[in-house]
């Protein structure tokens, strides 16, 4: 890395603070509110989505660089994997005898 | 924990090992000091960022761990060789099968494969190093810190004993209160950071640093398999990270992710473990497929049959690898729909794998086959692995699996997949690429002893386990009654394991013999091979290529040799930019290891202090403005003349 700087990394700082705030918000909603479990899960799920978007733009520089097609493949791949992991797990753990406890 | 529990006591076997480890360490330190090698070790190895040296260190660590894991295996075989033996008690047996599994998968297979990838990939794609050389050094050292932390459990605190899968609720604090499973959670976590970093590093290296002209369909097949492997690493290892974090929180801080009490779900651990664990199988076996492909093409004197279908097969396996995890726990009591779907996806994996087997066979067809040691490993792999694959399809059928599940049949199956698939591949690769690493070949005659002893021993060891498994012997049984009638099979199997150990000893002797006596005059291309790594000197110079090669076709070096275009023009030489050594990776990894050790014993204040060391290391690293250095043309010319003679 070169010693030349590109100005103060505001982007990173804002992203960092936003990530912490969103995480604390999720903790607060889970522990300190009286919403039903269903609502809590939806709210923290949406917060997680915001967090992912912040990561993509503030840290992973999704708008920079020339690799348009590689970025698209990457994101589609991650999305498929995330869907498999989340919905696969829910399906496996809530069907059959495993759910009867 | 009181101090008298700190060291593991009360077992003569472990006491002997403790004394042995102590003496070996004192001896090593004394020897290095006597030979005045500390400075050399530090500047040439500990701080190096050279991918070839890092690769060699990975291989060395992998062979050492192979020895440790192998001794575990031999002890298990000795214990079960006759009915009702008491060489090991149940507790000790539990610890040994746990450490055997963890070490063989994570600390033997992974470093050996990643080590060979490190040595070979930049050379195969015509690059001078990986994309992030310093991160690469960090990957190695943090893997090493994790491995050492895990091995420490043997003498300090006690080994983990809940199986390499560490299923909850058994692995929870409630049923396994000691520090053993803390070691499991933390050492795997630490080593996993290294693997993840390696994954990112190689994905970027292969996307960004291929030689000019090397488009995707001109990429050597080993690099292709490694590329896809590293994509699976990036996809799957974060799942392990999260699962292990939950395990750590459960065990150290009283959360209830996986406990039965307070709404936790032990099955969530199984689910997450195998969401990582099944892709992990492909992480270790895909690069092995790439290695066999290179070796078979080279020694059949033909280009690889069906190169493109091979690439698609690897990609297909990678995709399916994320869709089969439930086949590890059909018996959990899933709904019929779940088990049927996962049965189907599992059986589908046999299709691309079958494509690959036929590609290898057709590559061999009408080839002028040379029976070198590395070729022998590749040829033995095909039938042995097929036995593993076919028994895998048997296990894939959910209804039948209710019979096979957790029996010795399963154990025999996965050893038939992993030993031919990974260990044979690593041996083939070591014999094949050894000249590129060290500048001399391993002895072929001793190599053949190694091969025959190991392959025969392997079949003798694991074939009987299919039969006792079908006869109802479950895995992880530390002893059995004489009336079961398994004594003969398992005695046979124990003898086989000794033959296999003799094979490993032959490898060690081969390395020793070849270091001392083998001819150093092997040239740059001892096997008359096809890919770019053979176009540069053996051992490869630290800058890899004096001039970055231009690639026109697949197997470019083969065609350049035919056209006589392998020479080097003096006018093409330009100064080469290289990265500088760095001390931050090893120091940072040491801090991670220390944090892990303190957390194992739940000494939280000490862990926090050590964690400050990590932060300081990271901050110091961001102020490292070292731009590397340039190798002047004179020096390049001198080094190239040494093996090429005159330049054009």
* Mean per-residue pLDDT pooled into runs of 10, chain B (648 residues): 69 79 86 88 92 96 94 94 91 94 95 96 94 95 96 89 93 90 95 96 94 93 96 94 95 91 88 95 94 95 93 93 92 88 92 93 93 96 94 92 94 96 96 95 96 97 96 93 94 96 96 94 91 92 92 91 86 90 93 95 93 91 88 91 83
Question: In chain B, what residues touch A69 (CB-CB under 8 Å)?
Answer: none
Q: Are residues B9 and B99 in the same domain?
A: no
Q: Are residues B491 and B535 in the same domain?
A: yes
Q: Are residues B31 and B101 in the same domain?
A: no
Distance to chain A for B244, nearest Cα, Å: 16
Nearest to A95 among B272, B334, B625 (CB): B334
Q: Give the chain A residue whose CA is nearest to the CA of B340.
A: A92
Nearest to A95 among B239, B322, B335 (CB): B335
Does A100 score more than 60 pLDDT? no
Q: Which two tokens stand for residue B2?
A: 């009181």
Q: Give the chain A residue whose CA is nearest to the CA of B321.
A: A81
Question: What pLDDT is attached to residue A97?
Answer: 64
DSSP string spanning B139-155?
A: HHHHHHHHHHHHHHTTT
Question: In chain B, what residues touch A2 (CB-CB under 8 Å)?
Answer: 625, 627
Distance to chain A for B125, nearest Cα, Å: 19
Question: What pLDDT is attached to residue B201?
Answer: 96
- Which of B22, B24, B60, B23 shows the shortest CA–CA distance to B41? B60
Cβ of A89 within 8 Å of Cβ of B338? The answer is no
Does A6 score more than 80 pLDDT? no
- Which of A77, A71, A91, A70 shows the shortest CA–CA distance to B318? A77
Q: Are residues B26 and B95 in the same domain?
A: no
User: For residue B349, what is the domain's CATH number?
Assistant: 1.20.210.10
Q: Are residues B154 and B262 in the same domain?
A: yes
Question: What pLDDT is attached to residue A5?
Answer: 52
DSSP string spanning B45-66?
A: IIT---HHHHHHHHHHHHHHHH
Containing domain of residue B343, as a range? 36-644
Distance CA B223, CA B122 (A): 9
DSSP string spanning B225-281?
A: HHHHHHHHHHHHHHHHHHHHHHHHHHHHH---SS-SGGG--HHHHHHHHHHHHHHHH
Give per-residue pLDDT as tens, B426-438.
999 999 999 999 9
Tracing tokens 């990986």 back to the chain, one arrives at B130
Q: Which two tokens stand for residue B126?
A: 């015509």
**H/E run at residue B590:** helix B584-600
Nearest to B335 among A2, A88, A96 (CB): A96
Which residues of chain B have a Cβ shorter than 8 Å from any chain A Cβ? 207, 231, 235, 239, 265, 267-268, 271-272, 275, 322-323, 325-326, 332-338, 624-625, 627
Q: Are residues B291 and B330 in the same domain?
A: yes
Cβ of B323 within 8 Å of Cβ of A84? The answer is yes
Nearest to B333 among A2, A70, A97 (CB): A97
Question: In chain B, what residues touch A96 (CB-CB under 8 Å)?
Answer: 332-336, 338
Distance CA B191, CA A12 (A): 28
**DSSP conformational letter for B441:** P
Question: What pLDDT is attached to residue B590?
Answer: 94
Q: Are residues B505 and B522 in the same domain?
A: yes
Distance CA B174, CA B157 (A): 18
CB proximity A65 to B under 8 Å: no
- Which of B367, B382, B362 shows the shortest CA–CA distance to B302? B367
Reported as a pLDDT band with limits 50, 70 and 90, residue A1 is very low
Q: Are residues B298 and B444 in the same domain?
A: yes
Cβ of A3 within 8 Å of Cβ of B625? The answer is yes
Q: Give the chain A residue whose CA is nearest to the CA of B236.
A: A81
CA-CA-CA-CA dihedral for A68, A73, A75, A80, to nearest 10: 160
Number of domains in chain B: 2
Say which residues have a Cβ less than 8 Å from residue B377's Cβ, sequence separation at least 6.
Answer: B295, B424, B425, B427, B428, B431, B451
Q: Are residues B19 and B134 in the same domain?
A: no
Cβ of A1 within 8 Å of Cβ of B333? The answer is no
Q: Are residues B19 and B140 in the same domain?
A: no
| Highest-pLDDT range among A32-46, A57-71, B139-153 | B139-153
Nearest to A98 among B272, B322, B334 (CB): B334
The separation between CA B210 and the C-alpha centre of its own chain, rounded to angstroms, equals: 24
Tracing tokens 């996965």 back to the chain, one arrives at B414
Q: Are residues B28 and B40 in the same domain?
A: no
Q: Are residues B426 and B485 in the same domain?
A: yes
Question: What pLDDT is attached to residue B356?
Answer: 93
Distance to chain B for A72, nearest Cα, Å: 15
CB proximity A70 to B under 8 Å: yes
CB B626 within 8 A of CB B597: no
Reported as a pLDDT band with limits 50, 70 and 90, residue A2 is very low
Question: What pLDDT is attached to residue B3?
Answer: 64
């Amino acid at each position: 890395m070169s010693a030349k700087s590109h100005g103060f990394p505001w982007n990173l700082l804002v992203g960092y603070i936003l990530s912490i705030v969103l995480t604390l918000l999720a903790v607060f909603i889970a522990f300190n509110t009286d919403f039903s479990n269903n609502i809590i899960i939806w709210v923290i799920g949406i917060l997680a989505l915001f967090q992912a978007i912040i990561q993509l733009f503030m840290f992973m520089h999704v708008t920079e660089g020339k690799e348009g097609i590689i970025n698209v493949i990457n994101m589609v791949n991650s999305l498929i994997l995330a869907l498999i992991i989340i919905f696969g797990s829910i399906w496996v753990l809530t069907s059959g005898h495993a759910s009867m406890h | 924990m009181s101090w008298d529990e700190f060291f593991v006591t009360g077992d003569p076997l472990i006491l002997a090992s403790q004394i042995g480890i102590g003496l070996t360490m004192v001896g090593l330190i004394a020897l290095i000091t006597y030979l005045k090698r500390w400075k050399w070790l530090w500047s040439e190895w500990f701080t190096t960022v050279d991918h070839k040296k890092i690769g060699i260190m990975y291989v060395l660590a992998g062979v050492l761990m192979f020895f440790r894991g192998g001794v575990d295996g031999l002890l298990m075989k000795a214990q079960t060789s006759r009915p009702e033996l008491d060489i090991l008690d149940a507790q000790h047996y539990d610890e040994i099968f746990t450490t055997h599994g963890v070490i063989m998968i994570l600390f033997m297979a992974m470093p050996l494969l990643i080590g060979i990838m490190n040595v070979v990939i930049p050379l195969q794609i015509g690059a001078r190093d990986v994309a992030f050389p310093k991160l690469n050094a960090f990957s190695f050292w943090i893997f090493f810190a994790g491995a050492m932390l895990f091995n420490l459990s043997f003498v300090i605190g006690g080994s983990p004993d809940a199986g390499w899968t560490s299923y909850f609720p058994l692995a929870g604090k409630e049923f396994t209160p000691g520090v053993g499973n803390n070691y499991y959670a933390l050492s795997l976590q630490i080593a996993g950071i290294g693997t993840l970093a390696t994954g990112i590093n190689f994905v970027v290296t292969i996307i960004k640093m291929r030689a000019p002209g090397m488009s995707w369909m001109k990429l050597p097949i080993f690099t292709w398999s490694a590329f896809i492997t590293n994509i699976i690493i990036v996809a799957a290892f974060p799942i392990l990270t999260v699962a292990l974090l939950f395990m750590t929180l459960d065990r150290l801080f009283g959360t209830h992710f996986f406990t039965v009490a307070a709404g936790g779900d032990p099955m969530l651990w199984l689910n997450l473990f195998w969401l990582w664990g099944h892709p992990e199988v492909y992480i270790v076996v895909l690069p092995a497929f790439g290695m066999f492909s290179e070796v078979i093409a080279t020694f059949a004197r033909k280009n690889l049959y069906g190169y493109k279908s091979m690439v698609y097969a690897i990609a297909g396996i990678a995709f399916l690898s994320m869709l089969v995890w439930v086949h590890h726990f059909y018996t959990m009591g899933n709904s019929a729909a779940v088990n049927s779907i996962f049965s189907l996806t599992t059986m589908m994996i046999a299709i691309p794998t079958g494509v690959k087997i036929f590609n290898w066979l057709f590559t061999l067809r009408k080839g002028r086959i040379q029976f070198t040691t590395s070729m022998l490993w590749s040829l033995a792999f095909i039938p042995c692995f097929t036995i593993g694959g076919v028994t895998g399809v048997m296990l894939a059928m959910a209804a039948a699996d209710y019979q096979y599940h957790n029996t010795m049949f399963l154990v025999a199956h996965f050893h038939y997949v992993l030993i031919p698939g990974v260990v044979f591949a690593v041996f083939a690769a070591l014999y094949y690429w050894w000249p590129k690493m060290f500048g001399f070949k391993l002895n072929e005659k001793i190599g053949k002893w190694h091969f025959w002893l190991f392959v025969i021993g392997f079949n003798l060891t694991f074939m009987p386990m299919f039969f006792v498994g079908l006869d109802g012997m479950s895995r992880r049984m530390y002893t059995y009654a004489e009336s079961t009638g398994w004594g003969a099979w398992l005695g046979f199997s124990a003898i086989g394991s000794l033959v296999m150990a003799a094979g490993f000893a032959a490898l060690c002797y081969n390395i020793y013999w070849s270091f001392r006596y083998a001819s150093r005059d092997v040239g740059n291309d001892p096997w008359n091979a096809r890919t770019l790594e053979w176009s540069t000197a053996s051992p490869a110079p630290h800058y890899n290529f004096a001039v970055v090669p231009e690639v026109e076709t697949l197997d470019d070096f083969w065609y350049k040799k035919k056209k006589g275009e392998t020479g080097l023009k003096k006018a093409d030489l330009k100064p080469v930019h290289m990265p500088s050594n760095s001390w931050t990776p090893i120091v940072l990894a040491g801090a991670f290891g220390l944090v892990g050790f303190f957390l194992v014993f739940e000494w939280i204040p000490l862990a926090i202090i050590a964690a400050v060391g990590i932060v300081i290391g990271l901050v110091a690293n961001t102020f490292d403005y070292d731009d590397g250095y340039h190798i002047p043309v004179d020096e390049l010319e001198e080094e190239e003349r040494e093996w090429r003679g005159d330049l054009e």
